[in-house]
Amino acid sequence: MKSSSSDRPVIRLLHLSKSYGKHRGIDDLTLDVHAGEVLGFLGPNGAGKTTAIRTLMGFLRPSAGMADVAGMNVTLHSVEVRKVTGYLPGDPAFYSGRTGWDLLHLSLRARGLSEGILTERVVKALGAPMDRDVKKCSRGMRQKIALVVALAHDPQVLILDEPTGGLDPLGQRALLEIIDERARAGRTVLLSSHILSEVEQVCDRVAILSEGRLSTLSTVEALRSQKYKEVTVAFDGPAPDLTGVGEVEVIWEHEGRMTFRVRGDSRQLLRALAASNVTDVSITEPSLEEVFLDYYRSGETS
């Protein structure tokens, strides 16, 4: 479900910092998101994901640096930025006594629109309870209504703070399909998430934040390849000689089978395995979750 992206940056953060007194929300964050690209913000609680998103949406004023959306400075042209953006806040809250339709129409009127071109598609796909008073809606129902409000006008930019939060599995799948579809249509998506499988499924690149700083910005594939591979081999005779393969950590070895983690050049590993009496081999890449945890742990250690 990956989309192709162009080189045109639609979202641009340049040395963006935001501090609250002594606490630093984000620190010197620099990254671009291009048209047609889906970028996932990853990071533990308090890493600065929501702070970065709220700064982009004009809720927070940067302490230093700058940010652009669609070529417009988010501080100076906040309203214009929001005209071209669909925004989903984390855990959305609405006025009670209004239905989903009321809120959608309020949103469309604020954009000078009478109807949203994607309304029917999104309402149907997500099964959003648009006729129900939001006061009587569960967390997941509110999330669906909020997504309809964010997506209905087919915005050029989508900024989604934990978009699948509270959604049932069907809703999650439908949303990821919509995100992928919009990215293919050239829209730019920035989303934050704790659910790594969905980031893996829909994002072209991920930005891992740690304590407000950008720890890594990379494609999912590159991120994995920079990390270890887990290799299980079956062999006759002595265990394969892995000298010179790179950083090797043997996890388990027993009666002609061995599992180890290896970082480094895959060609050297293959050469080493070919030179030994290996009868079977399986190489698995780590899941994004394992990569993320590895980054997080190394960040904690450092």
- Least CB distance to another protein at residue 59 (A): 4
- Least CB distance to another protein at residue 107 (A): 5
State the residues that interact with another protein by CB under 8 A. Answer: 20, 50, 54, 57-61, 78-80, 82-83, 87, 89-95, 97-98, 103, 106-107, 109-111, 146, 149-150
Q: Which is nearer to another protein, 57 or 269 (CB)?
A: 57
Pairing of strands 38-42, 205-210: parallel
Q: Which is nearer to another protein, 145 or 269 (CB)?
A: 145
Pairing of strands 188-192, 38-42: parallel
**Biggest CA pair distance of the chain:** 75
> Can you tell me the distance from the alpha carbon of 54 to that of 233, in angstroms, rounded to the nearest whole number?
48
Q: Which is nearer to another protein, 112 or 238 (CB)?
A: 112
- Least CB distance to another protein at residue 3 (A): 24
| Amino acid at residue number 213 | R
Among residues 207, 248, 215, 242, which one has the least CA distance to residue 229?
248
Query: What angle do helix axes 139-151 and 119-126 make, rounded to 10 degrees?
Result: 160
- Least CB distance to another protein at residue 76 (A): 12
Residue with tokens 């045109």: 8
Q: Which is nearer to another protein, 77 or 227 (CB)?
A: 77
Q: Which is nearer to another protein, 160 or 175 (CB)?
A: 160
- Least CB distance to another protein at residue 139 (A): 13
> Can you tell me the distance from the alpha carbon of 84 to that of 209, in angstroms, rounded to the nearest whole number?
26
